[in-house]
Amino acid sequence: MEIFGVSLQTFYLYGLIISGAVTFLFILFHDVFSGFELPDMFNPTLVFSFFTLFFATAFLFTWGTGLHEWLVASLSFVISLIMVTLLNLFILIPISTAEESLAFTEDDLQGRVGRVLTAVPVDGFGEVLIESNSGNIAKPAASYNNEAIPFDTKVLVIEVKEGVLYVIAYKQI
């Protein structure tokens, strides 16, 4: 059987090369297209992956087996549908619902309560430990009011400048 004047196996190979390249380019430049809102069923990653898997399995079945071309197309369709469904359920959906990052910015530290690890002298620097659910953060600290703060004192971060926490002793009300 021929499609567009080429054998079916060659057609599947061309389809594999083109859909694989388009899938790869889409994954690389996904952020450019992120402004378009499409239903999950028409997720371009899933559509391009489906065609890539379809052409790959159809090419392999045509090349490696003597199955009828309609059986090859049907098997390839079913395998691609199953694989893309698994890709969506076990990879894409969990990734999309995961937290963006466990990283923090310096502005996130303002207003946090920490504990002095190294005493903060009047005109110098000490170290403060801020505990959080995602881990502990130890940063250099200086007194906001230019007062000495002893070891193991609870402190409140007032300001962050150039990576240094400016803190005051924390008095819980």
Contact 67, 59 (CB under 8 A): no
Give the per-residue pLDDT at 56. 93
Residue 1 pLDDT level (bands cut at 50, 70, 90) = low
**Model pLDDT for residues 73-85, shown as the tens digit of each residue:** 999 999 999 999 9
For the chain, domains (ranges, CATH) are 2-97 (no CATH), 106-169 (2.40.50.140)
Give the per-residue pLDDT at 107. 79
Q: Distance (Å, rounded) from C-alpha 48 to C-alpha 50?
A: 5
Q: What is the pTM of this model?
A: 0.54
pLDDT at 49 over 80: yes
Looking at the chain, the whole-number percentage of residues with pLDDT higher than 70 is 90
